[in-house]
Amino acid sequence: MSTLIQKYINNKSSTTPIWLMRQAGRYLPEFRSIREKNQDFIQLCLNTKLASEITIQPITRFDFDAAIVFSDILLVPYALGQQVNFKKDYGPVLEKIDFKILNNIKKEDFLKKLNPVYETIKETKSKLCSSEKDTIGFVGAPWTLLLYMLNRKSPKEGNFSVFTKDKNVQDILTKLDQFLKIHIDAQIKNGASIIQIFDSWAGLLPEKDLNYFVYKPIKSLVDFIREKKKISICYPRNINNYKKFVDNVNPDIISIDYNVNPSVIRDTISIPIQGGPDPKILLQNKVIVRNEVTKYLKTFDKKRYIFNLGHGVLPNTNPDMVKYLVEVVRSFNG
């Protein structure tokens, strides 16, 4: 049976689907209860029982149309032999790449390390009440992973080193292409109906470098997902020209951030669109939430539009505001 999102993007349903990035996370008290007892974030992501429970929490609360697996994009560098830790109030810290380990990583070892993620997807799929709900897997885009692997921390506030297209960079990109496809394939085999590709730091690149670091590497993954007859969503955050990205990469769905004008996106992009509203609206009052949500729904009323945010739900969000947001979207559907 087709999922709601599959039906919707194929013009076989008039109900606007809704799910949110980071819908499973720190804003939910039930998540915080688990997190307090599990301080090692990587190990929490690799705990199938807990990760599946966390994935389902927002579905139970809000009846979203899709569950996105509780995991992290940095599990790929971890499985490629690079040590990854998460420091409280700081973010990820990665050890220096050991190219000897990276160049000799075997597929079976990589899959063994990440097998709990695939089991989480399988378990989540079995828990979903409705066969119409999608189970979304995801990966970090090659550029964003490359940046973390070489920078060894988050590049927030310009905190990153510029690197050239040297042999080491090309070798990492080649390795990422190979193993991201392995990771995507395993997620699909275990029940993921959609794969979202997060290029969280695409906006840091100058226009001249987008083809090398963003368009070509992501298109390779999108083509692979299409070969598997599954849906791809691309989220190239903060890029200046979404139309150029779509023209070069050709994903099934484009997810937009909150810094772009939705009317421009509507008028220039023909494929289904996801997202847009600023997550900060959920920190405001209900009037603001209703106005912003309605603005996007009306803007894309004649398009295939999946309601989402322009970034992830913020940790200090009141769950009641998320509930209200869902009510506004559902009521707009009539």
Cα-based distances in Å from 318 to 26, 57, 285, 322: 10, 15, 11, 7
Confidence category of residue 2, pLDDT binned at 50, 70, 90: confident
pLDDT of 163 above 70: no
- List, for residues 251-289, the tens digit of each pLDDT value: 999 999 999 999 999 999 999 999 999 999 999 999 999
**How much is the pLDDT for 159?**
59
> Distance between alpha carbon 88 and the CA centroid of its chain, in Å?
22
- List, for residues 88-101, the tens digit of each pLDDT value: 778 899 999 999 99
Confidence category of residue 321, pLDDT binned at 50, 70, 90: very high
> Distance between alpha carbon 263 and the CA centroid of its chain, in Å?
23
Query: Which of 302, 247, 332 is CA-nearest to residue 11?
Result: 302
Structure-token pair, residue 47: 């705990």
Confidence category of residue 314, pLDDT binned at 50, 70, 90: very high
Kind of pairing between the strands at 84-87 and 91-94: antiparallel
- H/E element, 287: helix 286-299
pTM comes to 0.96
Q: What whole-number distance in Å separates Cα of residue 279 and Cα of residue 117?
A: 27
pLDDT of 160 above 60: yes
Instruction: Work out the average pLDDT over 22-30.
Output: 97
Q: What whole-number distance in Å separates Cα of residue 44 and Cα of residue 59?
A: 19
Half-sphere exposure of 174 (CA within 13 A, CB side): 11
Q: What whole-number distance in Å separates Cα of residue 124 and Cα of residue 106?
A: 27
- List, for residues 39-81, the tens digit of each pLDDT value: 999 999 999 999 999 999 999 999 999 999 999 999 999 999 9
- H/E element, 144: helix 142-151
pLDDT of 212 above 80: yes
DSSP, collapsed to helix, strand or coil, labels residue 312 as coil
Query: Average pLDDT of the chain?
Result: 94
**How much is the pLDDT for 113?**
98
pLDDT of 327 above 60: yes
Query: What structural domains and CATH numbers belong to the chain?
Result: 4-332 (3.20.20.210)
Structure-token pair, residue 306: 């999946």
Q: Residue 130 phi/psi, 5° resolution?
A: -110, 135
Instruction: Work out the average pLDDT over 238-258.
Output: 97
